[in-house]
Chains A and B, each alone.
Chain A
Amino acid sequence: MMGPGIPWYLAISAMLFSIGVAGVLLRRSPLIVLLSLELMLNAANLAFVGFSRLFGEMDGQVFALSVMAVAAAEVCVGLGLIVAMARRNLALDVDAFTELRG
């Protein structure tokens, strides 16, 4: 294979996933939390594509495509929730929602 080997892809994937984790833990805006979730999903996709190339099997790419579809579904519902929150004049702050806290 020309260029970098699979460990390089996995390293980028690990770094991107950690950036996404930091975003979910740090930021309070549900929009940015959703964007950080996308980062984590894409990091997983990169690992899938890398492993797919490593083993020479395309199943990993098929799975990555399914992950993309599920991510689109998740964005649809997540953005619907955010818009519903905004219409009820609730603060767009994930720390403000404590009703379900046990």
Chain B
Amino acid sequence: MGNVVVWVIWLVAAAACLFTGVRVVIATSPFSSALSLIGNLASLATLYLLASGEFIAAAQILVYAGAVMVMFLFVIAYLGGRADAPWAGGTKLIQAASVVTASALMAVTLVAVMLDAGGRLSDESDVDRAFGSPAEMGRLFLTDHLLAFEITSIVLLVAAVGGVVLGMRSQAEALADAEEAAQP
């Protein structure tokens, strides 16, 4: 009985994940693209939960669907109508080639997964309740993966500095504005 419920939740989450993923790509307004991505992240968090990744699921909602997507929505709102860029570029041939490339990539990966589905990919290890818990994640981050943890903090710091530098007004811009203001 519990098995059936898990299957139903999984299938609903997977279907929502693919549907919102397609919506991100085909939506004409950037707002609906970004909102679809939020739905996509939420359904992925459900899938993480079912694969015993409790902490990852929580971080996905808090960091991704929360912080990162709010930044996206702010920028889309700031750009206003300018964000509505052309839907697709290139000739019809290029567009068809893009779709064929993506489908071929999907076919190759799916066949590779299916060939191994009955073999190595089917014997999962048994995990205990601590698997994926915040306590266990914290222990790993402060012991085995301490270097990765510290490097992540440096990457985030550099990105924050980069964002500030990109957002700064250049001297030439400031001069041009000052000249404009000086003229009567």
Q: Identify the A interface with B (CB < 8 A).
A: 1-12, 14-23, 25-32, 34-36, 38-39, 42, 45-46, 49-50, 52-56, 58-59, 61-66, 68-77, 79-84, 86, 91-95
Contact = CB atoms under 8 A, between A and B. Distances in A.
A101 B11 CA distance: 45
| Count class of interface residues, chain B | 35 or more
Interface string B93-118: 00100110111011001100110110
A58 B113 contact: no
B79 to A, nearest CB: 5
Chain B interface, >50% SS class: helix
Chain A interface, >50% SS class: helix
A10 B166 CA distance: 37
Nearest to B37: A35
B111 to A, nearest CB: 10
Given A80-B167, A83-B78, 16 more contacts: A1-B124, A7-B117, A18-B105, A21-B102, A26-B25, A26-B95, A28-B87, A28-B89, A42-B64, A53-B51, A56-B131, A63-B148, A65-B59, A69-B155, A82-B79, A84-B167
